[in-house]
Structure 1
Amino acid sequence: MKTDYLKFTLLLFALTSCSNGLTKISSGKKIDDRLVGVWAGSEQDQQIEGAQKIWKMTRNDDGTFLLNFKTIIKGESDEFTEKGNWWVKNGKFYEFHDNSGETDIYKYEVLDNNRIKFISKQINIEMNTESYQFIDTRK
């Protein structure tokens, strides 16, 4: 009986400790393992009326990211690459951009294994809309 209780307790501990998917990285910050990988997304008219943004985001398990995106405005396109660090805290996603020195903050929701919804809380570029949101899809 005592052995069964011990096995049950260990199993319960293993399940609950893995359930939140958070991993502490070398910086001391935490990442959500479900966000690691290569993701794609797009948005239309949210940042600038008449503009489309398409991106590929690679979030690494060491808390770094590489963001490649293309903007298309009136048939003209530009491509950009950004690097930085990402982490999560209290249900929010933080994205520090090396080039600007700014950190964007989003509320995030993992919809399933292949989709994450982001809603901006603090973003350091002007937007055409009050509530900038998008969905990243796993590639």
Structure 2
Amino acid sequence: MKRTLSLILLTIALGACSTQKPANDPALVGTWKGLRTQTDKCQFLSWTTHLKPDGRFTITFFRDVQQTQAIQTEQGTWSAVNGKNELRTDGVRMPDVYTYQLVDADTVRYVSVAAGPSGDCQEDYAFTERRLR
């Protein structure tokens, strides 16, 4: 009986270790600014993103480059590993998923892979964010 119980506990412990998520890419932690220029299909948009070490994020969207005319703020969880970044906005079922590449320590390039239903102008969407210091 003790041997069976020990085997069950060992199996649970090993299973818990293998299901832990890898740590988020620490190079992305911080505050970033991005913008989208106006096109035929999409309006101008700028934003500030805060990626926190605890896996939470906030993004505030603005109508202007100076970021004085806020549109809305979203928050949720983020995960980034192996060149893939996933943002899960609180209250939205589907995440926004991007591939990313660090251009340098203060510049990251994103390409949309999958967007949640709340995203606009997301098909074939690529953008660059720059770190704010």
TM over 0.5: yes
Question: What is the one-letter code of the residue matched to 2:71?
Answer: E
Identity of aligned residues (%): 26
Cα drift, residue 127 of structure 1: 4.6
Higher strand share goes to which structure? 1
Q: For residue 124 of structure 1, report the CA deviation from its aligned partner.
A: 1.9
Q: Check if 1:87 corresponds to 2:103.
A: no
How many corresponding residue pairs? 108
Q: Which runs of 5+ in 2 are unaligned?
A: 1-19
- How much does 1:44 deviate? 1.8
So what's the TM-score if we normalise by structure 1? 0.68
**Superposition pairs for residues 1-139 of structure 1, below 5 Å?**
28-45=21-38, 49=41, 51-71=43-63, 79-125=71-117, 127-128=120-121, 130-139=123-132
What's the C-alpha RMSD, in Å, of the aligned pairs?
2.2
Give 2:60's aligned amino acid. Answer: N
**How far apart in 1 are the matches of 2:97 and 2:42?**
25
Alpha-carbon deviation of 1:131? 1.2
Residues of 2 paired with 1:71 and 1:102: CA distance?
A: 25
Secondary structure of the 1:30 match is: coil
Partners of 1:50 and 1:96 in 2: how far apart? 22
